């Protein structure tokens, strides 16, 4: 076994590998760029080596710098994590030449499977069912349009290298193919250093199901069940679960055996994932193979009890697999939410900045339910513009799918992040969605269920009553503290004036009465008493306790003369008044938002890649105005209506803040 390994990555996956290595008694070496000097993975590792500027192309993607770091520290092996160099065939070759072990598959398997075009050819040769498409490299947009016309719309334009939704576009017409080809090619070049793209038929209403395989260097390969990854937006997974609610045991075995056969055909010898696109009728087609550890590997670990990082390290050290296929048992259900630095109400555009608050829910096992949080950040740390916007992966495991979803919903409610925009409100809302809860999924789920984008809903029904009760309880606690200030002349017991309150949920009033009961207080609404018990103290970001006997978590953020309370995917401004204050507040005019309809605002912090129009130019609705790049994704900003460009404030190469004015319209 190795004495010391280097992790050629950053963020949560670097921290994840360090945890397992530490448990195995292996020393670790971190590498870091200028932007990651104070990163968590640098703090956690036994040693750390600086490898260059912030841009990945000058640091994390430079093979020579990784090898030099190994030489400096005496690291015997390298774990690549995911992304960056993890699927670059040249990396394990260069490591082998330097006498360093690659904790991953052999270069031949990476070459055969890591390239999407070559992997489809290999799958076809192995008689694996594949999606109809053109398996060659496409030279230009004209050829792409011709191929798409022959296959039939819609089509998927995909980068041959890499993954993570980068360099992927769905096109429903010839015009969309031409533009999608240019964008996919450009994104692929900037993300992977490889601009090759191909075209294949896009299966409508599909599900994304993948099989985890594990092989060793002695010819043994097993599969560890499946993961359902159908909840995606912009071709990037958002929520994953294991097992899949679609599959039965026979289909699982068929997919697993096919994945193993394909892995054996290319001599696969590490952890890897065979991805399939599945129909609602349980039909499936080979999509691609990821020759690395997947982002969503924790859900497989939770249902199998197998540490995939440990198995990768043991296999790389030459050990035989410790398990046979018969030893693999699936236990319970696991759900993972990817928590991203992005603004869900602005079409999920990236957000950057400092984590002023970062308070994840408590990890551990309680009443048969496990909560796990894989992260690479800390409170006070910074979310950089240079890398993937993932903050954390929140994972829950329970005996049933319903219990795992319920645990995930509660854990999301207890996850407090401030300082940047994030997608927790969307994830919380999704956990309450009836279609998600029923397991009727497809990769079009988000587009179909949120066609107008996501807006944080106002609380209704029981959720609204719970928020009213928590708001009243918080106000009561603050009032009690005020009454305890010394020197005040007050009656011995509280007067009714202290107990009658009007809780405003936005503009909606709720009259309540606060009563003392054994163990705490009760909030009386419309004659019904809701006992409230909590140890919450002012200033804490999350209120936890019971309302009406039900355990809940509510996020609390102070606002002017009140608080913003978020629970179960909803959010509301809550202000608690006396009856007279409520009467006067109802007379106050509502503040009108400023009209920004004649300005194009930058929707996220980013870099201006191109300005497509000139001052004085007339534009039609839908025409591209400029391209802004953020978090390695290119975003085309279009005209919302017909108009004339009166002034352009930005130029190519400008780095803009969110809501910066790019141009104005006459």
Could you tell me which of 78, 104, 370, 427 has the C-alpha nearest to residue 238?
427
Domains along the chain with CATH numbers = 4-103 (3.40.50.20), 106-130+207-331 (3.30.470.20), 132-201 (3.30.1490.20), 332-446 (3.30.470.20), 461-485+494-585 (3.30.700.30), 599-665 (2.40.50.100)
**Residue 116: which pLDDT band, with cuts at 50, 70 and 90?**
confident
Could you tell me which of 210, 283, 279, 274 has the C-alpha nearest to residue 240?
210
Q: What is the pLDDT of residue 493?
A: 62
Q: Is the pLDDT of residue 132 over 80?
A: no
Q: Is the pLDDT of residue 497 over 70?
A: no
Question: Do residues 5 and 19 touch, judged by C-beta distance below 8 A?
Answer: no
Q: Which of 282-286, 451-455, 528-532 has the highest mean pLDDT?
A: 528-532
- Angle 444-237-454 (CA atoms, 0-180°, nearest 5)? 60
Written as six digits, the tokens of 143 are: 């050829």
Q: What is the pLDDT of residue 166?
A: 77
What span, in angstroms and rounded, lies between the C-alpha atoms of 389 and 632? 10
What span, in angstroms and rounded, lies between the C-alpha atoms of 628 and 645? 18
What span, in angstroms and rounded, lies between the C-alpha atoms of 30 and 115? 28
Higher-confidence residue of 387 and 574: namely 574
Q: Is the pLDDT of residue 611 over 80?
A: yes
Partner residues linked to 549 by β-bridges:
none
**Residue 163: which pLDDT band, with cuts at 50, 70 and 90?**
low
Give the number of other CB atoms < 10 A from CB of residue 366: 9
Strand order in the sheet with 284-290: 284-290, 271-278, 207-215, 221-233, 236-242, 333-340, 390-398, 369-375, 364-366
**Residue 496: which pLDDT band, with cuts at 50, 70 and 90?**
low
Q: Is the pLDDT of residue 148 over 80?
A: yes
* DSSP conformational letter for 483: H
Question: Do residues 626 and 601 touch, judged by C-beta distance below 8 A?
Answer: no
Using alpha carbons, list the distances in angstroms from residue 380 to 37, 39, 353, 419, 464: 14, 11, 10, 9, 33
* DSSP conformational letter for 130: B
Please give the torsion angle defined by the CA atoms of residues 440, 331, 406 and 376, in that order, rounded to the nearest 10 degrees. -100
pLDDT tens sequence across 222-250? 999 999 999 998 788 999 999 999 999 99
φ, ψ at 454 (rounded to 5°): -105, 130
pLDDT tens sequence across 342-397? 989 888 888 888 999 999 999 999 999 999 999 999 999 999 888 888 999 999 99
Give the number of other CB atoms < 10 A from CB of residue 642: 12
Q: Is the pLDDT of residue 310 over 90?
A: yes
Q: What is the pLDDT of residue 136?
A: 76
**pTM of the shown model:** 0.83
Partner residues linked to 134 by β-bridges:
199
Q: Is the pLDDT of residue 37 over 80?
A: yes
Q: Residue range 569-582: average pLDDT?
A: 94
Q: What is the pLDDT of residue 639?
A: 87
Could you tell me which of 90, 83, 34, 38 has the C-alpha nearest to residue 67?
90
State whether residue 109 is helix, strand or coil.
helix
- 339: CB partners within 8 A, 6+ apart: 390, 391, 392, 393, 394, 415, 417, 422, 423, 424, 427
- 78: CB partners within 8 A, 6+ apart: 5, 6, 7, 8, 66, 70, 95, 100, 101, 102, 103
Share of the chain above pLDDT 70, in %: 97
What span, in angstroms and rounded, lies between the C-alpha atoms of 444 and 295? 21
- Angle 148-149-155 (CA atoms, 0-180°, nearest 5)? 35
Give first-to-last CA distance, the chain, whole Å. 69
Q: How many CA atoms lie within 13 A of 331 on its CB side?
A: 13
Q: What is the pLDDT of residue 192?
A: 80
pLDDT tens sequence across 8-30? 999 999 999 999 999 999 999 99
Which residues are identified as catalytic?
288
Written as six digits, the tokens of 48 are: 């750390």
Could you tell me which of 503, 495, 493, 553 has the C-alpha nearest to residue 523?
503
Classify burial at 374, counting beta carbons within 10 Å of its beta carbon; exposed 0-12, middle 13-18, buried 19 or more.
buried
404-410 long-range CB contacts below 8 Å, 24 or more apart? 404/241, 404/332, 404/333, 404/334, 404/335, 404/369, 405/335, 405/431, 405/436, 405/437, 407/335, 407/369, 407/371, 408/335, 408/337, 409/568, 409/569, 410/361, 410/551, 410/552, 410/553
- 22: CB partners within 8 A, 6+ apart: 28
Question: Do residues 359 and 259 touch, judged by C-beta distance below 8 A?
Answer: no
Mean pLDDT of the chain: 91
């Amino acid at each position: 076994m190795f004495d010391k390994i280097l992790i050629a990555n950053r963020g949560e996956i670097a921290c994840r590998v360090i945890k397992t290595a530490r448990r195995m008694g292996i020393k670790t070496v971190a590498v870091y760029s200028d932007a990651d000097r104070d990163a968590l993975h640098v703090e956690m590792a036994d040693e750390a080596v600086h490898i260059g500027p912030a841009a990945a192309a000058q640091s994390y993607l430079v093979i020579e710098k990784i090898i030099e770091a190994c030489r400096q520290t005496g690291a015997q092996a390298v774990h690549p994590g995911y992304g960056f160099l993890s699927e670059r065939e040249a990396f394990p070759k260069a490591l082998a030449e330097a006498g360093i072990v690659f904790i991953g598959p052999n270069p031949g398997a990476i070459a055969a499977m890591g390239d999407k075009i070559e992997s489809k050819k290999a799958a076809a040769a192995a008689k694996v069912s594949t999606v109809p498409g053109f398996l060659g490299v496409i030279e230009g947009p004209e050829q792409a349009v011709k191929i798409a016309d022959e296959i039939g719309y819609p089509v998927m334009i995909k980068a041959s290298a890499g993954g993570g939704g980068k360099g992927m576009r769905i096109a429903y017409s010839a015009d969309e193919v031409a533009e999608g080809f240019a964008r996919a090619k450009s994104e692929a070049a900037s993300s992977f250093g490889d601009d090759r793209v191909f075209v294949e038929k896009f299966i409508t209403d599909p599900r994304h199901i993948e099989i985890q395989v594990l092989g060793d260097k002695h010819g043994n390969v097993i599969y560890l069940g499946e993961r359902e990854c159908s909840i995606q937006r912009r071709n990037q997974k958002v929520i994953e679960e294991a097992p899949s609610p679609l599959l039965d045991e026979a289909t699982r075995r068929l997919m697993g055996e096919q994945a193993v056969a394909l892995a054996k055909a290319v001599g696969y010898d590490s952890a890897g994932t065979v991805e399939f696109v599945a129909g609602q009728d349980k039909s499936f087609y080979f999509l691609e193979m990821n020759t690395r550890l997947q982002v969503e590997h924790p859900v497989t670990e939770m249902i199998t009890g197998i540490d995939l990082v440990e198995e990768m390290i043991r296999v790389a050290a030459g050990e035989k697999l410790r398990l046979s296929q018969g030893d693999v048992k699936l236990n319970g259900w696991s759900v993972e939410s990817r928590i991203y630095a992005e603004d869900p109400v602005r079409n999920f555009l990236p957000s950057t900045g400092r984590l002023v608050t970062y308070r994840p829910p408590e990890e551990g096992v309680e009443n048969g339910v496990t909560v796990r949080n894989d992260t690479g950040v800390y409170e006070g740390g910074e979310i950089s513009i240079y890398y993937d916007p993932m903050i954390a992966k929140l994972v829950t495991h329970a005996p049933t799918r319903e219990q795992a979803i319920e645990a995930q919903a509660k854990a999301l409610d207890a996850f407090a992040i401030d300082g940047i925009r994030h997608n927790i409100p969307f994830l919380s809302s999704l956990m309450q969605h009836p279609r998600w809860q029923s397991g009727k999924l497809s990769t079009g789920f988000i587009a179909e269920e949120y066609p107008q984008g996501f807006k944080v809903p106002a609380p209704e029904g029981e959720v609204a009553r719970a928020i009213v009760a928590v708001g009243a309880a918080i106000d009561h606690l603050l009032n009690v503290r005020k009454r305890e200030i010394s020197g005040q002349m007050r009656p011995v017991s509280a007067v009714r004036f202290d107990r009658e309150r009007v809780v405003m949920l936005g503009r909606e009033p709720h009259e309540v009465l606060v009563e003392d009961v054994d163990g705490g207080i009760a909030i009386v609404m419309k004659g019904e008493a809701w006992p409230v018990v909590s140890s919450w103290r002012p200033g804490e970001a999350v209120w936890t306790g019971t309302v009406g006997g039900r355990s809940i978590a509510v996020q609390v953020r102070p606002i002017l003369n009140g608080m913003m309370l978020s629970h179960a995917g909803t959010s509301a401004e809550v202000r608690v008044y006396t009856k007279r204050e409520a009467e006067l507040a109802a007379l106050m005019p509502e503040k009108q938002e400023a009209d920004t309809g004649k300005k194009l605002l930058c929707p996220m912090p980013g870099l201006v890649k191109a300005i497509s129009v000139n001052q004085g130019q007339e534009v039609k609705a839908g025409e591209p105005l400029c391209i802004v790049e953020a978090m390695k994704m290119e975003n085309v900003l279009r005209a919302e209506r017909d108009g004339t460009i009166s002034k352009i404030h930005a130029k190519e190469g400008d780095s803009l803040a969110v809501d910066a004015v790019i141009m104005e319209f006459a």
